[in-house]
């Protein structure tokens, strides 16, 4: 039986179009999904959008359209962007999908029956940007450090989930590596946070209309004109996408025999093997999400992987600063694979990264136009001068070193390994003065070309997950030993 591999991205808020930050996580998920497919695994890659809650309600109001119309438009923007970036997701889950809403409703009913939900008064500082209550410790100068806004004091009757029951168990599982959090620094951060134990969290909103209604009889709510209705807290709603994205409908308990994975029903892919995200949403993913799963008696994800954050020209990306880079712009300027390459090489493991149009263009010209593009062009032009056909082994297979880097989720470092080969090959052409050999020593020229072809086959094979179109193009060129006049893989910008 094939190994199953389930990978998720966060479902992004649809208050705006996707930007390079969202694109980074999504392209990384795509690279890993393609890699695991190439390794012969049975892969499911789930992407989607987070469409309920106060943030979306406000954005729709500002745009002057109904929330439903607003989220439909924005969800389409995300789908388009992912299509433009050649993202091979297996399912795109929207939290406004009827099946998802039904599952959320079932889950809340189950948790209520199980006695894990109770009513109480809630008072706290709420950041609309995060859709989270904040403690004083979380704030810098009284403001949410992620959104630069002062959270509002909110007091409401509320339903609570007994998260406090699960804190120790979660800490134990993270400590033992049953639930992996990488990089290690992030794991330690979460373990430190869990030392104080977990507080119960409010899972209902009386003043947010745009959401899924609490399914059990309630008291004191206000949503639909004071008729005692509450909507479900958007993070509870959102987390369940990792189940509903597989077509799960909230029938509980999940049949334990289905939990091991395998072919057939997509829910067999659960739990996720890798959940990608950045540091902004790690804490909720390492507390509320596993607590929900424990409450539902379901297995926890294998691994949560946290990548760094982008800044642009040293500043936070923001619409008001006007410095946002949109994925469509990247593709327009650098091509799909150029955009994918530039994204994947901009964040080093465990670090944030700064990008700018100048730096991106410079890197594109150096690595793609001059590096890879030039290598293919020169090799093929010279090969055509001696009517060369490659006969040797096509490629050496993927190196152990690169396999290990995939295990560790180090895309930038993998690309650096591949570019070592490309740079070696370009130098080799220089050293051997291949353009002279093809004129006066055909036998020696063919030996050099043989080595170059082997290296380029290898490069193309290695590039498949990152630059699928380019890899295919290169393989075609090599196999036909021909490059059309004027065919330029990466024109300089
Ligand atoms: N809707 C929630 C997630 C729910 S998942 C159950 C959310 N959405 S979000 O639109 O704010 O997306 C946050 C994620 O987008 C980050 O964790 C990261 O994956 C990606 N990024 C957003 N901005 C980013 C940068 N500036 N840099 C890198 N990644 C960033 O939170």
**316 is annotated as an active-site residue:** yes
Distance 317 CA to ligand 1 centre (A): 12
The phi-psi region of residue 43 (left if phi > 0; otherwise alpha if psi is between -120 and 50; otherwise beta) is: beta
* Atom 21 (ligand 1) nearest CA: 21
Active-site position among 19, 74, 187, 410? 19
- For 159-197, what is each residue's pLDDT tens digit? 999 999 999 999 999 999 999 999 999 999 999 999 999
pLDDT over threshold 90, residue 490: yes
Lowest mean pLDDT among 90-99, 266-275, 414-423, 462-471: 266-275
Q: Which atom of ligand 1 is nearest to the CA of 242?
A: 6
| pLDDT at res. 192 | 98
CA atoms within 13 A on the CB side of 196: 7
Active-site position among 69, 114, 251, 316? 316
* Atom 12 (ligand 1) nearest CA: 12
Give the confidence band of 409 by pLDDT, cuts at 50, 70, 90. very high
Q: Any idea which residue has 């970036």 for tokens? A: 85
Q: Which atom of ligand 1 is nearest to the CA of 316?
A: 26
Q: Which atom of ligand 1 is nearest to the CA of 289?
A: 6
Cα 317 → chain centroid: 18
Query: Domain segments of the chain: what residues?
Result: 357-480
| pLDDT at res. 73 | 98
pLDDT over threshold 50, residue 414: yes
Distance 303 CA to ligand 1 centre (A): 17
CA atoms within 13 A on the CB side of 384: 13
- What 3 state SS string does the chain have? CCCEEEEECCCEECCCCCCHHHHHHHHHHHHHHHHHHHCCCEEEEEEEEECCCHHHHHHHHHHCCCHHHHHHHHHHHHHHHHHHCCCCCCEEEECCCHHHHHHHHHHHHHHHHCCCEEEEEEEEEEECCCCEEECHHHCECCECCCCCCCCEEEEEEEEEECHHHCHHHHHHHHHHCCCEEECHHHHHHHHHHHCCCCCCEECEECCCCCCCECCCCCCCCCCCCCCCCCEECHHHHHHCHHHHCCCCCCCCCCCHHHCCCCCCCHHHHCCCCEEEEEHHHHHHHCCHHHHHHHHCCCCCCCEEEEECCEEECCECCCCCCCCCCCHHHHHHHHHHHHHHHHHHCCCCCCCCEEECHHHHHHHHHHHHHHHHHHHHHHHHHHHHHCCCCCCCCCCCCCCHHHHHHHHCCCHHHHHHHHHHHHHHHHHHHHHHCHHHHHHHCHHHHHHHHHHHHHHHHHHHHHHCCCCHHHHHHHHHHHHHCCCCCCCCCCCCC
* Atom 29 (ligand 1) nearest CA: 21
- Residue scoring higher pLDDT (262 or 372): 372
Average pLDDT of the residues in 470-486: 86
Distance 10 CA to ligand 1 centre (A): 7
| pLDDT at res. 260 | 46
Distance 225 CA to ligand 1 centre (A): 33
* Atom 19 (ligand 1) nearest CA: 277
Distance 17 CA to ligand 1 centre (A): 12
pLDDT over threshold 60, residue 263: no
- Average per-residue pLDDT for the chain: 92
CB neighbour list of residue 396: distance below 8 Å, 6 or more residues apart = 454, 458
Does this model's pTM top 0.85? My answer is yes
CATH assignment, 357-480: 1.10.730.10
**147 is annotated as an active-site residue:** yes
Cross-strand bridge partners of residue 161 = 117, 201
Best probe residue, ligand 1, of 27, 96, 280, 313 (max atoms within 8 Å of C-beta):
280
| Contact criterion met (CB below 8 Å) for 191 and 171 | yes
| pLDDT at res. 459 | 97
Task: Name the nearest CA neighbour of 19 among 413, 279, 322.
Answer: 322
* Atom 2 (ligand 1) nearest CA: 12
* Atom 25 (ligand 1) nearest CA: 21
* Atom 15 (ligand 1) nearest CA: 22
**464 is annotated as an active-site residue:** no
pLDDT over threshold 70, residue 473: yes
Q: Which atom of ligand 1 is nearest to the CA of 15?
A: 10
Average pLDDT of the residues in 446-467: 96
| pLDDT at res. 218 | 86
Q: Which atom of ligand 1 is nearest to the CA of 239?
A: 6
> What's the CA gap between 346 and 367, in Å, rounded?
13
> What's the CA gap between 456 and 435, in Å, rounded?
18
Best probe residue, ligand 1, of 19, 27, 82, 278 (max atoms within 8 Å of C-beta):
278
| pLDDT at res. 261 | 45
| Contact criterion met (CB below 8 Å) for 191 and 159 | no
Any residues with Cβ below 6 Å from ligand 1, and which? Answer: 10-13, 21-22, 24-25, 50, 238-239, 241, 277-278, 280-281, 309-310, 317
pLDDT over threshold 60, residue 257: no
**39 is annotated as an active-site residue:** no
pLDDT over threshold 80, residue 491: yes
Lowest mean pLDDT among 167-176, 285-294, 377-386: 377-386
What is the separation, in whole angstroms, between the first and last Cα of the chain?
47
- For 347-359, what is each residue's pLDDT tens digit? 999 999 999 999 9
Active-site position among 69, 251, 260, 319? 319
Give the confidence band of 225 by pLDDT, cuts at 50, 70, 90. very low
Give the confidence band of 255 by pLDDT, cuts at 50, 70, 90. low
Active-site position among 17, 74, 100, 127? 127
Q: Which atom of ligand 1 is nearest to the CA of 311?
A: 26
> What's the CA gap between 103 and 301, in Å, rounded?
19
- For 105-141, what is each residue's pLDDT tens digit? 999 999 999 999 999 988 888 888 887 888 888 889 8
Active-site position among 22, 100, 307, 410? 22
**19 is annotated as an active-site residue:** yes
Q: Rounded to whole angstroms, what are the CA distances from 255 to 178, 248, 251, 394? A: 21, 12, 9, 46
> What's the CA gap between 233 and 215, in Å, rounded?
13
For 103, the token pair is 């599952």
For 433, the token pair is 């003065």
Average pLDDT of the residues in 91-96: 98
Q: Is 423 exposed, middle or buried (0-12, 13-18, 19+ CB in 10 A)?
A: middle
């Amino acid at each position: 039986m094939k190994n199953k591999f389930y990978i998720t991205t966060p479902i992004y808020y649809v208050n705006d179009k996707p930007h390079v930050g969202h694109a980074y996580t999504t392209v990384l998920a795509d690279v890993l999904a393609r890699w695991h497919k190439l390794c012969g695994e049975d892969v499911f890659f789930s992407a989607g959008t987070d469409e309920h809650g106060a943030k979306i309600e406000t954005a729709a109001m500002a745009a002057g359209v109904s929330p439903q119309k607003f989220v439909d438009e924005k969800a389409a923007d995300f789908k388009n962007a992912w299509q433009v970036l050649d993202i091979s997701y297996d399912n795109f889950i929207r939290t406004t999908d009827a099946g998802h809403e039904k599952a959320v409703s079932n889950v809340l009913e189950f948790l209520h029956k199980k006695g894990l939900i109770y009513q109480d008064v809630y008072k706290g500082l709420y950041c609309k940007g995060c859709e989270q209550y904040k403690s004083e410790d979380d704030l810098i100068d009284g403001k949410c450090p992620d959104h630069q806004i002062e959270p509002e004091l909110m007091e409401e009757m509320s339903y609570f989930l007994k998260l406090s029951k699960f804190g120790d168990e979660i800490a134990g599982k993270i400590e033992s590596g049953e639930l992996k959090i990488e990089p290690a620094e992030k794991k330690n951060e979460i373990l430190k946070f869990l030392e104080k134990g977990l507080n119960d969290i409010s899972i209902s909103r009386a003043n947010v209309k745009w959401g899924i209604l609490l399914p059990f009889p309630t008291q004191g709510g206000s949503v639909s004109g004071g008729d005692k209705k509450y909507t479900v807290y958007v993070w509870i709603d959102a987390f369940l996408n990792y189940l509903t994205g597989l077509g799960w409908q909230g029938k509980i308990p999940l049949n334990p025999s289905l939990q091991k994975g395998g072919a057939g029903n997509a829910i067999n892919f659960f739990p996720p093997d890798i959940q990608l995200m950045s540091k902004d949403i790690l804490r909720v993913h390492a507390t509320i999400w596993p607590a929900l799963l424990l409450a539902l008696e379901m297995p926890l994800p294998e691994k949560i992987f946290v990548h760094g954050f982008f800044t642009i020209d040293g500043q936070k990306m923001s619409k008001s600063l006007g410095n946002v880079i949109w994925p469509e712009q990247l593709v327009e300027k650098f091509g799909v694979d150029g955009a994918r390459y530039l994204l994947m090489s901009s964040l080093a493991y465990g670090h944030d990264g700064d990008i700018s149009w100048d730096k991106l263009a410079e890197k594109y010209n150096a690595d793609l136009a001059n590096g890879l593009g030039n290598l293919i062009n020169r090799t093929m032009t010279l090969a055509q001068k001696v009517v060369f056909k490659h006969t040797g082994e096509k490629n050496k297979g993927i190196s152990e070193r690169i396999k290990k880097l995939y295990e560790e989720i180090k895309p930038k470092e993998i690309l650096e390994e591949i570019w070592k080969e490309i740079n070696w090959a370009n130098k080799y052409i220089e050293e051997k003065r291949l353009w002279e050999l093809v004129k006066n020593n055909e036998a020696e020229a063919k030996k050099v070309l043989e080595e170059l072809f082997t290296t380029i086959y290898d490069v193309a094979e290695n590039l498949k997950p990152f630059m699928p179109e380019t890899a295919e193009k290169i393989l075609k060129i090599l196999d036909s030993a021909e490059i059309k006049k004027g065919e330029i893989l990466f024109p300089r910008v």
